A and B are shown apart, each in its own frame.
Chain A
Amino acid sequence: MSDRTLTLQVNGRPYTLEVPSGQTLLETLRESLELVGVRDSCGIGMCGTCTVLVDGRAISSCLTLTAQVENKHITTIEGLSQDGQLHPVQQAYIDHGAFQCAYCTPGFILSTVALLGENANPDDAAIREYLAGNLCRCGSYVNILNAVRACRTIDD
């Protein structure tokens, strides 16, 4: 497989990299950029631990070739907090105890950010549906639901 030189926009910074053409975005982010908040688990887009935002949309980086996202804006969990301040969704996850082993947490938080970007006031059914692509084997779903509810513009 031949390498290609690509420019990626990751967490607001440009990176120019030599990337094998078959490399997944998950591999590039973890191995080349050492962004280990992006996690490998199932490898087939079923579990959501490798979720990142591409132009604000939540995608599985294990199913995305790095070459597909050239010049697009990629956000990983490392890019969410600004100047040492946690993003409100991150803070809500802490406030509601919405994690256990937390291997899935970056994926859940990024999916939550994407959901709120599409719909600032999702109801419970919408939250459950949207986050069904992220698995939490520890089973923290009730607390995750509470955390996401608290992030709505209108919190009831």
Chain B
Amino acid sequence: MAVGKSVPMLDSVARVTGTVPYPSNLKLPDMLVGKIFRSRVPHARVIKLDVSAAERLPGVVAIVTAADFAGDDKPNLHFGSPIQDQPIVAGDRIRYIGEPLALIAAESAAVADQAMDLIELEYEELSAVFDAEQAMLPGSPILHEAFPDNIVRHSKLRRGDIEAGFAAADEIVEEVFSSPMAQQASLETHVAAARWKEGKLTLWTGSQSPYTVRRVLSAIFDLDLENVRVIVPPLGGGFGGKGNVRIQPMAAALAWKVGNRPVKLVMTRAEEFVTVTKHAAKIMMKSGVKFDGTFTAREVSIYWNGGAYASSSAHLVPAGMLRAIGPYRIPAVHVDSYGIYTNLPIAAAYRGAMSSQGVFAHESHMDTIAHLLGIDPLELRTKNLLRTDDLFATGERLHDIHFVECLEAAAYGLGWHEPLQSDNGTIKKRGRGLAVMMKNTIANSYSECRIELDAEGLVTLFISTVEMGQGGHTALAQIAAEALGVPIEALRVRGPDTAETPPDAQTASSRSTHMMGGAVLDGAASLRQQLAEAAAPILEWSPDDLSVADGYVFVTTQPQARIPYAEVLGRNNIDALTATGKYSTNEGKLDPDTGQGISTPDWHQGAGACEVEVDTQTGKVTVLRYHSASFAGRVVNPTLAGLQNDGNVIFGMGASLLEEVAIDGGQITNPNLSDYMLPSFLDTPVELKNVSLEEEGSSFQGIGEMTLPPVAPAIANAIYDAVGARIRDLPLTAEKVLRGIQGRTDHER
């Protein structure tokens, strides 16, 4: 059985010998270098953009500006999925610092850089707005005239009698939490190379969404879908930042203008920070509780800073609404989730997307309530956590719910009830904290695969699942190998390449193992049926009397009467058997006024518990021990699953303790990995453990993010436990902790 084994990643040798063909390595014959001339002001009306001197520079092949899109026979300047508000290059209006204004294709990077200096831009600056709440106020600068209040999306949830709920409460607790803009910071930056040939566009790119890229590019250039081909090599990390459509339209537009030569765009590290970011969020959370810890009502308002264009915010804002409520039994819930335009770079998914901000809020809030009521934080949670058959705030009945098991696995792993090694009286104090999360999956979604079995018994899996380090190709090959009864060594994986691999919505939101895994199981079942039908005349039994397993077709009642797959094909003169597998979900249609309905086919579930040490003289926080748990249903590959769980915790520690994109007047002031720090070996807890919970008869559940969102609140709760300081603003820097400790001391005096 291939499933359940720690099979090394299929291309492990390439990974340790440096030969993975990342998009950044791509070299095509006659390829030109693409560079981007960007805005240096956050909001302005463009008066004149003159690229003529730059165009005349020897070695410059083409320059694209908005003028190239004027005219009915030209490509569309604007794109976006689903709201088409984003220009490929800014036309008469600049909306953030770093916005592309002109694209240069040149023989070398040095020439392109020289050309940049020859571009002349005249503009009239407009007043700008960077804070999301401020942008909603009347009189604020308007980014898009069609959205006069700067609200790109407002999602609502209304359940129960909220006023009666608060009236029935013994205590009402109200808090405000905030998370800053952050950057996904995959070590490989965004890359896109484009080539036009005979009216057809081919794109090589580091993207998590090849089929979205194809659809959006076909709309920009008014091409039939089959005339746009998107090829995605393995990525040097994605983390949500490479989802949707990012730099691909620019590469395609440059190659379109050049005509007969390919152009490659590679973002610098600094450009990454203006390409995509994580939504800064402010969350107001108000809960009514009884003295015994029973909840009566919860009201949540969320302000997501979406940046200058809608991009992914349009569908992430409703998802973020559901993810901020918390997995608890609360009879009355009201939520308002606002996505807001500001003069900042676009915000989109960042691993643990639209969960981390909300989970930090509701799980910090739970501890505030626990301490107020004098109830143990684990006990308050387990008393209120949702169980199977409970109703969620959307009114949907829950199934396969394991919040209590996840939280207890993390808490008991840490030793929640064991005495803490106390350092009272010394400078360093220890504390413990825990947190739990729930996340809807992407509903109303589709995955398809093709499986080919050849006459030598080799199996090729054609999938558009992107391999970005998560081991998706290996896990899906394991699922196929088990379903077909062949060893993993017989498996090959191809894709994504929209010319040969079938459609898949995207590789995001921890959906691939479940969704594409479901498609693989469907395809394998169809292939087994074809094998039975092809073997039936040879074995002289009806296909219904045959079984297909372990590399053989055999008579169910006489297993010794059997033929290997290769022989089934050989004796029928078949080169290959091919099957298509599909998996789709159609939930996710909530009532727009009440948020009621079925939001998701499955719930993602995870938890974490940690022990920290706080230096009371400096405020420095060290996470000594961290235990995480996620609900996996059925684990495909224990090593890869462990890497997801641990990797989430480490990624989450970055957002918890280190990461904040600093902005001054719309200008990002730390767009480099020195001032924007990522977690290193020395930030990793000395004791870091994880568990993937399984259940008999369960399906493959996504685990790509579940242990991430609990990290920040678990640490914040542990800091409170250690020194009594409640930090409600991420990241949990030493400065804030120290201020918290001092504030508390002043208050006690």
Contacts and interface: CB of A to CB of B under 8 A. Distances in A.
Interface string B669-689: 000111000111110101010
Nearest to B8: A94
Contact of A100 (B647, B679, B682): B647
Contacts of B188: 39, 41, 101, 103
B717 interface: no
A40 B24 contact: yes
A53 interface: no
A72 to B, nearest CB: 20
A94 B16 contact: yes
Contact of B471 (A39, A100, A144): A100
Contacts of B187: 39, 41, 47, 49, 101, 103-104, 135, 137
Contacts of A39: 24, 187-188, 236
Contacts, number: 162
Nearest to A93: B16
Given A36-B25, A97-B640, A99-B16, A44 B8 contact: no
A139 B648 contact: yes
B17 A139 contact: no
B681 A140 contact: no
Q: Identify the interface centre among B236, B642, B650: most chain A CB within 10 Å of its CB.
A: B236
Main secondary structure of the interface of B (DSSP, over half): loop
B646 interface: yes
A17 interface: no
Interface in B629-649: 639-640, 642-643, 646-649
Which of B18, B640, B680 has most chain A Cβ within 10 Å?
B18
A44 B18 contact: no
Given A103-B187, A132-B680, A76 B239 contact: no
Contact of A139 (B8, B12, B13, B647): B647
Contacts of A132: 680-682
B17 A81 contact: yes
Contact of B678 (A97, A99, A131, A137): A137
Among A47, A103, A141: residue with most chain B CB under 10 A: A103
A64 to B, nearest CB: 17
A133 B24 CA distance: 22
Given A132-B680, A139-B646, A76 B16 contact: no
Contact of A101 (B6, B469, B674, B682): B469
Contacts of B401: none
Interface residues of B, number: 52
Contacts of A78: 17-18
Interface residues of A, number: 52
A141 B12 CA distance: 17
Contacts of B674: 42, 44, 46
A21 to B, nearest CB: 14
A129 interface: yes
A46 B237 contact: no
Contacts of B239: 137
Most chain B beta-carbon neighbours within 10 Å: one of A44, A94, A100: A100
A46 B13 CA distance: 26
B681 A101 contact: no
B679 A139 contact: yes
Interface of B: 6, 8-9, 12-20, 22, 24-25, 185-189, 234-237, 239, 268-269, 468-471, 639-640, 642-643, 646-651, 672-674, 678-682, 684, 686, 688
Given A128-B681, A137-B237, A141-B684, 6 more contacts: A36-B18, A37-B19, A77-B17, A102-B15, A137-B186, A141-B681
Which 3 residue pairs are nearest across A and B when measured between Cβ atoms?
A: A37-B18, A101-B469, A139-B650
17 contacts: A36-B18, A41-B189, A41-B269, A77-B16, A94-B13, A95-B8, A97-B640, A100-B470, A102-B469, A105-B15, A105-B18, A128-B682, A128-B684, A129-B681, A133-B680, A137-B237, A138-B237
